[in-house]
Structure formats: C-alpha cells, structure tokens
Chain A
Amino acid sequence: MGTRRIPLPGVGTQYDLTTESGGHLSVVVHHDGRRFLGVYRADDPDACESVALDPEEATALAHLIDPTRLEGIDTDGLDLVTEHIPVGSRSPYAGRLLGDTRARTRTGASIVAVLRRTSVHPSPGPDFRLGLGDTLVAVGTREGVDALAAIIGGG
C-alpha cells in the first residue's frame, strides 16, 4: 500500500492511495470540511468519479470502513466508550491547559489523544494547551464521557 499527500493550495489536501492489488483511490480534504472520495476511471486514469461528503457523512463512512472499531471497546463487565469531544468556541478551556480541566478527577474519563487539524497528539500531559477547534478523544464510562463533554463544551 502506498499513500501520497498532495497539497492543493487554496482548496485543501489530496491523499492518494494505491492498494496492493493496484487499485487507486483518493480523498480530497477540503478546507470547508467536506471530503471528496475519488475513484479513478478506467478509460482515463487522470480523471476520477468523485463523491462529495459533508463532515458527518465522512465520519459515518470512516466508521463503516474502519476494521478496528473504535467505539464500544469490549471489556469485562465495564462498558467503556470512546467519544470525540470538540473544543468549540463556547468552551471555557480553549487556550487553557489540559490540567485545568481536571478531567479524570471530576469524571473518571481519560483523554487519550487530542486531534488537531494539522497533527495528532497522543496521550497529552496536563501541561498540554488546548486550542479552539481541537478534538479530544476521551475514553471512559458513558456517564463519565458525557460529563466530560459537558465540561469541555461549557454546559
């Protein structure tokens, strides 16, 4: 498998994927949040049939395709869930340290990673500074994760 990252200035980024069997796909990540899934045509390998996906549709498709399911990790007796929690403009913690949220003490849920548009930060420490637009990947019980979402969201 080979992936290639091609910048599309002013539009976004294109990710090219060539599979082991020689198939060729690409995903265009648009600045406005849309994703375009392209499958290349047989008669013209430079051109693709492209499907536009809004952010929710892209997430749904990603969950369908992902063979290692992220949600509902099976643990004995304890129902752990993984949730993506966005740091929106109403969040009191945008621009503040992760430690300030005292997430684990207050909710029991753990923040295992922070997704930023340009990068991913696995296991962030308490001195990690959250930014507007970050997405927290939190693992915990349903109640814990929901409480954390309320705290981060400013509810």
Chain B
Amino acid sequence: MHDTTSLLLELGALLLTLGLIGRFAGRIGLSPVPLYLLAGLAFGKGGLLPLDASEEFVAVGAEIGVILLLMTLGLEYSASELVGSLRTQYPSGLVDFVLNALPGALAGILLGWGPVGAVALAGVTWISSSGVVAKVLTDLGRLGNRETPAILGVLVIEDLSMALYLPLLTALVAGVGLAGGSIALVVALGTVVVVLYFALRHGHHLSRAVSSDNPEMLLLVVLGLTVLVAGIAQRLQVSAAVGAFLVGIALSGEVAEGAHRLLTPLRDLFAAVFFVFFGLSTDPAAIPPVLPVALLLAAVTVVTKVATGWYAARRAGVGTRGRFRAGGALVARGEFSVVIAGLAAATEPRILPLATAYVMLMVLLGPTTARWTEPLLTRLRGARGRGTAPAPHPRGVGAGAAANRRGQRR
C-alpha cells in the first residue's frame, strides 16, 4: 500500500532531478529531452532507483503531457498557415514521407515486428522535431535565410500528417486490422478537413466564446475543452493527441496567444513527465543490444533527411549551400518519435529501447548537423571541384594591425 507521503517524496525528488538536469542541458546548449529519457531509465524498473508509489500519477501525467504537447503545437499554427503550406509544399512533404518513413518501415519488417511495428517505426524515423529545429534555426540566426520557409513548410506538413497517422496507428495498435485502420483513417481525414474548414471560416466564433480577460478562467476553459475533446477523440478511436491538436488549430488570435502563454509552463511540466514515463517503461538492459540497429538507422535517416531538405530548398529556388543547410537543420527527431513509440508500445514493447536509443542519438545529432552539414559539404565539393582546396584569403599583417588598432581604441 502506498501512502501520500511516499508519493510526495518520490514526485518531489523526480521533479527536482528533472529541474536540475534541465538546467544542466540548458547550460551546455542541449535539448533536455534525451536527459529526461535517461532520468526515466534511471528511475524505472531495473534502473538505479525504481519508483513505485508515484507510478500511477506519472502515467496519468504522461497522458496529459502528450495532449498538451499536441495542443500547444496546434496553437502555434493558424489554419490559414496550414492550408497555405499544404498547398505550396506538398511535394516536399511527400518526398519527406517516402525518404524517411521507408527506412523505419523496412527496419521494422527486417526485425520481424509485423505491420504494427513497421508502421510505428516508420513514424519514429519520419517526423522531425519541430521544437528542436525551430530552436536551432533561431539560435543560429537563420530565420531570415531563404531556405527557412521551405524547412518550416516541411515541419508543418509533418505535424499535419500526424493528424492522420496517429489515428491509423491507434487503430492498428487496438488490433482492428487493415479494414478498421482504413475506417479510422477516413474518420480522421474527415475530422481534419471539417476542423480546418471550421477554423478558417468560423474559428473566431470559438475563439470569442472561449476568450476571457481573466487568465484563470481562460486557463480552465481551454484546458478543460482540450482534455474533453481529447477524451472524446480517444473514445472514437481517433487518438487523444489528435483531438488536442485540432483544438489548438481551431483557436486563433489573442485567445491562442493567451492560451499559449498560460499553457506553456504546464506543458513543459507534463511533457517532462511524459519523457520520464517513456524512460520508466523502458528496460535499460534492453538498450545495448539494439544500439547497432539504432546507430545504423540514425546514419541512414541523417542522409535521407539531408536529401529531403535539399529537395525542399531546391524547390524554393535556393542555392546549393542553402540546400545543405536546410537538410542539416531537419535532421533532429524528438518528441514525436517518442509519442509514436509510446503509443505503439502497447502491442510492440520491443520498440521502446530502440526508440529511446534512436531519439537520443538524433536529438544530439540534430543541432550538430544543422550547424556543420553545409560548411562540411561545401568544403568537400570545393576540394573535389578544383582538385585542391581554395587558397586562403590574403589576410596580411596590415589587416591584423588594423584590427588591433581598432581594438585599442575601444
């Protein structure tokens, strides 16, 4: 029997640990997601310090975390942005899907996981992390670059595709077979179209109905609406996450802005709990055996993502260097891959260690490839093209002396 005291003790220790490692991640300029996963591994069964009193709370918190992740993601996009991106960028989205979902699907089949495992692993390798990519672009000062709209367009289409993919996966996990899966897909597609249409034409009515000057009321109404719709979506086998995403899209304007401001801290809390929960459900001993597969999958999908970015930027008429920058920026996978793996774990528990290892690799690789893909490939091309590396820029003693003088004058 567990009493409230041990729940409080465990939960407090867990959150404090997360806060400390989050700070550490911030200091070394890293996304905290892989560290949260590691913390989950440490606290889980077979880890250093198993939790048991707070297990139930963490499980519910994780569920809320996924709902809030998708909800705030929906808030970031307006319906017109979604429709606009879909109209102009769909070929890039298609190339993205084919190049990046296939390696995962093939790996799933080769590992003998059956159709559900293959579909789930395809999703894990397909979806880039919008959070990491947007942060990296901002940090590197590339928001004004000409390839950036193409990169963001790919992300938007991926996020929108989730609204079709997650219900399909949910249905497959529930074991309804191909026919049931198709029905779920059609229902999801219909819902997405209806919500987009509604949000484009009448979104302001919902926003006005929800709107409140009192932050407390706004928080409660938006949170309540989101969780309720997520629950209804779950009941209809459409996946709670998608319901939440659609609520986020339907809200617009000031309400979306206010809700985003209010919900972001909550989301950060529960999303961290979700990542920990994912780590908790993973047996750390199962990770070393799958590491070679994860490394291979990472290597392949780095290349396919770079190719995706290259294609998307080329469609936007961007030069070679910008195409490589776009490719490198898209490499990071993160929160979505974890969400997908978490969903599939019900029927294919073997996906947990592989997805953990893969996401940790890709979250670490993403910012690195974003920074270095273009300089590296440009140098390689230059070396191959001219036979020798280009001569160094003639920066003589004079220039150095001038710089020194400038420095002294300060």
A interface residues, Cβ below 8 angstroms from B: 6-12, 14, 26-28, 30-31, 36, 38, 40, 44-52, 89, 94-95, 117-118, 131-133
Complex partner residue of B254 from A6, A40, A131, CB under 8 angstroms: A131
Tell me whether B149 and A6 are in contact (CB under 8 A): yes
Q: A30-B143, A46-B147 are in contact. Are A9 and B213 (CB under 8 A)?
A: no
B267 within 8 Å of A (CB atoms): no
B114 within 8 Å of A (CB atoms): no
Q: Which of B140-160 contact A (CB under 8 A)?
A: 141-149, 152-153, 155-156
Q: Considering the complex, give the chain A residue whose CB is closest to the CB of B215.
A: A89
Tell me whether A31 and B254 are in contact (CB under 8 A): no
With a cutoff of 8 Å between Cβ atoms, the chain A residues found around residue B141 in the complex are 36, 38, 48-52
Tell me whether B257 and A10 are in contact (CB under 8 A): no
CA distance A133 to B259 in the complex (A): 13
Minimum Cβ distance to chain A for residue B139 (Å): 10
CA distance A124 to B84 in the complex (A): 32
Complex partner residue of B149 from A14, A27, A40, A45, CB under 8 angstroms: A14
Minimum Cβ distance to chain B for residue A50 (Å): 4
Minimum Cβ distance to chain B for residue A26 (Å): 4
Tell me whether A48 and B134 are in contact (CB under 8 A): no
Tell me whether A9 and B138 are in contact (CB under 8 A): no
Tell me whether A26 and B144 are in contact (CB under 8 A): yes
Q: A9-B153, A10-B134, A36-B143 are in contact. Are A133 and B148 (CB under 8 A)?
A: no
Contact with A along B32-58 (1 / 0, CB 8 A): 000000000000000000000000000
B82 within 8 Å of A (CB atoms): yes
Tell me whether B143 and A10 are in contact (CB under 8 A): no
With a cutoff of 8 Å between Cβ atoms, the chain A residues found around residue B153 in the complex are 9
Complex partner residue of B85 from A9, A38, A52, CB under 8 angstroms: A9
Complex partner residue of A46 from B77, B143, B145, B254, CB under 8 angstroms: B145
Tell me whether A9 and B81 are in contact (CB under 8 A): yes
With a cutoff of 8 Å between Cβ atoms, the chain B residues found around residue A36 in the complex are 141, 143-144
Tell me whether A10 and B152 are in contact (CB under 8 A): yes
Tell me whether B145 and A47 are in contact (CB under 8 A): yes
CA distance A50 to B141 in the complex (A): 5
CA distance A117 to B257 in the complex (A): 11
Query: Which label, helix, strand, loop or mixed, suits the secondary structure of the B interface?
Result: helix
**Residue in B144, B147, B149 whose Cβ sees the most chain A Cβ within 10 Å:** B144
With a cutoff of 8 Å between Cβ atoms, the chain B residues found around residue A131 in the complex are 254
Contact with A along B80-108 (1 / 0, CB 8 A): 01101100000000000000000000000
Between-chain CB contacts (< 8 Å), 28 pairs: A8-B149, A9-B76, A9-B81, A10-B130, A10-B155, A11-B137, A11-B138, A14-B149, A27-B144, A28-B143, A30-B143, A31-B257, A36-B141, A38-B141, A38-B145, A45-B146, A45-B319, A46-B147, A47-B325, A48-B144, A48-B145, A49-B141, A50-B143, A89-B213, A95-B213, A117-B257, A118-B253, A132-B254
Minimum Cβ distance to chain A for residue B209 (Å): 13
**Residue in A28, A31, A44 whose Cβ sees the most chain B Cβ within 10 Å:** A44
Q: A8-B149, A30-B138, A133-B254 are in contact. Are A46 and B321 (CB under 8 A)?
A: yes
Tell me whether B152 and A9 are in contact (CB under 8 A): yes
Number of B residues near A (Cβ < 8 Å) is 35
CA distance A48 to B143 in the complex (A): 9
Tell me whether A11 and B152 are in contact (CB under 8 A): yes
CA distance A55 to B234 in the complex (A): 41
CA distance A49 to B144 in the complex (A): 9
Minimum Cβ distance to chain B for residue A93 (Å): 10
With a cutoff of 8 Å between Cβ atoms, the chain A residues found around residue B257 in the complex are 31, 117, 133
B334 within 8 Å of A (CB atoms): no
Q: Considering the complex, give the chain B residue whose CB is closest to the CB of A16.
A: B144
With a cutoff of 8 Å between Cβ atoms, the chain A residues found around residue B321 in the complex are 44, 46-47
B258 within 8 Å of A (CB atoms): yes
Minimum Cβ distance to chain A for residue B25 (Å): 20
Q: Considering the complex, give the chain A residue whose CB is closest to the CB of B326.
A: A46
With a cutoff of 8 Å between Cβ atoms, the chain A residues found around residue B325 in the complex are 47
CA distance A4 to B368 in the complex (A): 32
Tell me whether A10 and B144 are in contact (CB under 8 A): no
With a cutoff of 8 Å between Cβ atoms, the chain A residues found around residue B147 in the complex are 46
CA distance A7 to B88 in the complex (A): 12
Minimum Cβ distance to chain B for residue A47 (Å): 5
Q: Considering the complex, give the chain B residue whose CB is closest to the CB of A94.
A: B213
Q: Considering the complex, give the chain A residue whose CB is closest to the CB of B149.
A: A6
Please name 7 further chain A to chain B contacts, defined as beta carbons within 8 Å, in addition to the given A14-B149, A38-B144, sorted by A numbering: A9-B85, A9-B152, A36-B144, A45-B319, A50-B142, A51-B141, A132-B213
Tell me whether A14 and B134 are in contact (CB under 8 A): no
CA distance A16 to B215 in the complex (A): 36
Q: Considering the complex, give the chain B residue whose CB is closest to the CB of A95.
A: B213
Contact with A along B245-269 (1 / 0, CB 8 A): 0000000011001100000000000
CA distance A28 to B152 in the complex (A): 14
Tell me whether A14 and B144 are in contact (CB under 8 A): yes
CA distance A118 to B258 in the complex (A): 15
Q: A45-B319, A46-B321, A47-B321 are in contact. Are A9 and B142 (CB under 8 A)?
A: no
CA distance A46 to B314 in the complex (A): 12
